[in-house]
Structure formats: C-alpha cells, structure tokens
A and B are shown apart, each in its own frame.
Chain A
Amino acid sequence: MAGILSGKVSVVRSDDARWLRPICGALLGAGAKVALVGENVSGVERHASISGPCGDEESVRDALSEIEADVGRIGALVNGPVRPLFRSASRVVDEDVVRAQASSASAHRWMRLAGTAMAARGAGSIVSFVTGLARRGVAEASVGSMTQASIEAMTRSFALEWAAAGVRVNAIGLGWFEMEGRPIEEQRSERLVRYIPLRRRGIPDDVASLLVYLLSDESGYVTGQTVYVDGGAMSHA
C-alpha cells in the first residue's frame, strides 16, 4: 500500500479526535499529504493544520482555500467517526438531538464543499466513517443512530450526484471499536464481545488499509458503498 496515495492532498477531519492520529497515520504511510482540520495532534506530521471549529460554511470554505493554497489541490476527504451518544430516552433532551444534527450537518458541509470542488476538477474520493447504528437498533442509541444513518444515506446520494464527475463517495462502517486492543481473554468477559462473531472489538488498525484503498485510485469503480468492518456483527441474527 505504500505510496498508493502518493502526493494526494487529503483533508482529514473528525468529530472524535481520538481517531485523528490513526487516520493520519494510515494516510501518511501511503504517501498522502495530510491536511488536518480541527485539533492539533501532537506527533502527527501534517502538511497543513486548520484550527478552529469550522462550524459554518464560510469557515469551511476558508479552510479549503487555505489548504489548496498551502498544500495543493484537494484529492480526498476523510470524515472521521462521530462518537455516538448513548443516552436513555428518558434522559435525552432537545440539545442532544440538535448536537447530533449538527454532526450530520458538519459531515454534509465538508462533503458538499470539498466534493463540489473536487467534482469541478473531475477527480476525488471521499470516505466517511459510520457505525452499525446506521442500520441496527440498540437501546439508548436513538440519538446516536440518527447521525450514523444520515451520513450513510448522504454517502449514497452524493455518490450518485458526483459519479459522472469523477468523485467517488464511500463509507466505512465500524462495528464495536475501541482505540487500543486489549487482551482477548479480558474482552471475552464482556457479553457484548461474546456476541461479536470474531470475539473481539475492532481497533483502528483494522480499517487502515480499507481507508487507504477507498481513497486511492485502486478503488476507482467503487462508489456509494458502505463497507462494514465489524467482526461479523452485521451478519448476526
């Protein structure tokens, strides 16, 4: 995989800052030029760093212009995971829902603006992260699941909108992940882990090569898809 993203200017953003480092690591390992948006991640080599919330169209436009000026034409966008809110319905308040919608809107804003720019030039790849909550119900995940499902849905529609313009839009579906692997025996004491066919939680390394593949030209005929990396959870009855 080394070099298959060689020189590709890749914008990386994530609502869940824990994922910035592994995502950037995968991209840098494949030769991409990484423009990191949001928080600084110490120790991550990057070619541009945009700080600030980028919470409106104007600031996203500015950030994209700045990246293009400093690093080069944007060839890829990674929308990192949105950490789903788990909260029982009786404790959910409107602000939780509004925040979840803001996460959807933010993913949409970045896809829309970066995708439109890439479509105008006839090439690009967008990868967003979702979780199985996009397709499966879990108690206390009513708010968390709406963001995930909306991002999966917008992925399909953007894919069709830009298919002829050379911009591919895909998603990676995460199962039950954690940031660092733990000993298998410790994991198996959890009821949830025993439910996962592969009997362990996923870690960022499990999706690194898929991310690189979907961003690269190697996946030139793949668009509109969500590929689940979930230890088999979605196959479960």
Chain B
Amino acid sequence: MLRLDGETALVTGGGSGLGRAMALGLARAGAVVAVAGRRKGPLEEVSDEVVRSGGRALAVPADLTDSSDVARAAARVESELGAVSVLVNNAGLVRDQGGTAIWDVTDDAWRGGIAGILDPAFYCSRAVARGMCERGRGKIVNVSSGLGLRGTRDNYMYACAKGAVIQLTRSLAVSLGRWGVTANCIAPGFFPTEATDASPMALPPAEFIPVGRTGRVDELAPLVVWLASSASDYMTGEIFVIDGGGLAGGYAPTGWRPSSSSRG
C-alpha cells in the first residue's frame, strides 16, 4: 500500500460521492485532507470520519465557482493544514441534467453548465499551482468522465466541460512539468452516487457495461492514492479510464457478438 504521509490533499466536492471516497482513501494512506464544497454538513461528516480514524482533516465550505471564494478556501487550507501538495479537482456542479435538444439549450444553461464543471477545476488549479511550482513538487488529479472522451446524446454542457477538463489536464502537465508538478486525469465510467440517484437522467443499466456492473466509488481510492503518490511521478498528462471496459468498446452495442448476429 502506497503511503501519503506528509502530504496535504485538497479534494474538491469531497463531501459526497466520488470525492468523499477519494478523500477518505487519501486520508487512509496518511495524507492530511481538506474537503471543499458547497454543503457544510457532508463536508464535516467526512472530516469527522477522518479524525475519528486518527487522521487530520478540515471541512472547507466554499462556492468553488467563485474565484475569490476559492482563493479564500486555499488560503485557509494552507494556514490550518499546510501547503497543498495534492489537489483533486473532483467538484463539478452539474447544473443541467442533459436530455435537452440543442435548439432548446439557453445561453444561460450553456454558460452555466460549462462553468459549473470547468471553473472549479481551473480556479483551484490556479490557486495552488504557483506554490507547488515554488516548492518543486505537486500532484494535480482532475476528474473527467468517459463522456469527456466520447459523444453522448443531448448532453452538451457536461460532455464539453468534461472534455475541457482533459485539455486542462494536458495543459497543466505541459506547463508545470518542468517544476516537478504532475497533472493527470481520472475518467470514470458509471458510478452510482447520491447525485446520480437524484438525477432524472438514469444511469444505463449494468448490461451496457462490459464487466456487467457499475463502478463502486471505493474503487477510485487506490487510483487516486497512486496518482497522488511519488509512484506516479513520471506520469503526467495522462487520462486514466476506469469504466468496466466501456471505452474499450464503443463500436458495437455492449454484448453484441458477430456470431449471434444475422449479419457479420
């Protein structure tokens, strides 16, 4: 098991879902963890859980789509826990659940939909990048999506913003690499969370996923720990897909076999 003792991680959107699982995973590996996001209650539950297990954590309620709030949050983490050495850009405010034909997408829905997902990642990266570069070390882990790599029907803002997160990753990697700062990206497939449960857009049933099941959020923990650790120091700008095989296919319906088809 890789250890992250001495690291200070900031996990955005760390109060629930994928972010919570990654924050707890980083804490189990020995990192001091700050969780930032909109809702104070869930953030504090996560920080309490870390503290109960003997770790150190801080809940930082903030509107991460507001850059001044991001700057305040970053300063607070630095003064209370120490300089951020690991940033996990997981927060993404999904303002629009998709399912809208392009001619019905309003200007506000378009801009807000992109901003809710992309702005926190950019603002948080900007807030910690200089310090990481000055210290000659830093690990940025962005969370995109399989839908940032492939098209999906009537889900413009999500797909575009998640695609942009991938380009943010590559841009950070190329720009900051010479200072010893790496930036990589996790592209999860379908992971049920409270957020997806509450969404009117249902996740596809498990039979659309080659391994026959959706992801479990705890399965992200080992990956984020590895990407946060020195074990991945030579890897940067990489997109790590964790999706039960979905993107290995994407050329025929899942489960489709030439031998069971009427035509080859």
Contacts and interface: CB of A to CB of B under 8 A. Distances in A.
B79 interface: no
Interface in A128-186: 132-133, 135-141, 176, 178
Interface residues of A, number: 24
A190 B262 contact: yes
B41 to A, nearest CB: 34
A203 interface: no
Interface of B: 146-147, 149-152, 245-253, 255-259, 261-264
A192 B252 contact: yes
Contacts of A190: 261-263
Contacts of A137: 245, 248-249, 251
Contacts of A234: 250-251
Contacts of A191: 253, 256, 261
Interface string A68-92: 0000000000000000001110000
Contacts of A86: 258-259, 264
Nearest to A237: B150
A235 interface: yes
A87 B257 CA distance: 9
B151 A139 contact: no
A136 B251 contact: yes
B261 A195 contact: no
Contacts of B258: 86, 138-141
Nearest to B159: A237
A232 B151 CA distance: 10
Given A136-B251, A190-B263, 17 more contacts: A87-B259, A88-B259, A135-B251, A136-B248, A137-B245, A138-B258, A139-B255, A139-B256, A140-B257, A176-B252, A191-B261, A192-B253, A195-B252, A232-B151, A236-B151, A237-B147, A237-B247
